């Protein structure tokens, strides 16, 4: 009996339980077929080849006890992951301003354009009203 092997198998099987508990429902069977089943078969082949079935059974039992205890203590309160929460770094589009920000900016631009046209009209009125420039000097001198 090798306790180091049993501890390693316990950790490996705990990883499988973690994957089992945390897999998204939509891809659950794909995870089972592509991760959990090949790993379980690999452990079985290894245990047969090395003659380590006792360590494998002890590791599996210990992992099952720990996983069940974890599930009842914490796991039920933790929701499964969803594809909505996945973000790929470097693939994000540039930040966009929010619609309220856009509306406020557009309103500010419209207000500034209106103020500009009003000021230009005021300048034209002042220049054309008495024949002098806005500084008060006659335009001809």
The pLDDT of 128-139, averaged and rounded, is 58
Percentage of residues of the chain with pLDDT beyond 70: 77
The answer to which of 3-17, 20-34, 100-114, 126-140 has the lowest mean pLDDT is 126-140
Q: Rounded to whole angstroms, how far apart are CA atoms 115 and 120?
A: 9
Tell me the per-residue pLDDT of 81-92, one tens digit each, with 9 for 90 and over.
677 766 677 766
């Amino acid at each position: 009996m090798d306790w180091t092997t049993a501890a390693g198998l316990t950790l490996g099987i705990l990883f499988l339980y973690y994957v089992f508990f945390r897999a998204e429902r939509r891809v659950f069977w794909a995870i089972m077929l592509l991760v959990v089943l090949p790993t379980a078969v690999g452990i079985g082949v290894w245990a047969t080849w090395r003659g380590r079935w006792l360590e494998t059974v002890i590791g599996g039992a210990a992992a099952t006890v720990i996983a069940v205890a974890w599930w009842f203590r914490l796991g039920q309160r933790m929701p499964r992951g969803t594809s909505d929460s996945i973000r790929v770094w470097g693939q994000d589009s540039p930040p966009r301003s929010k619609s309220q920000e856009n509306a406020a900016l557009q309103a500010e631009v419209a207000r500034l354009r209106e103020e500009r046209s009003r000021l230009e009209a005021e300048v034209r009125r002042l220049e054309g009203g008495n024949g002098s420039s806005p500084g008060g000097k006659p335009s001809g001198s």
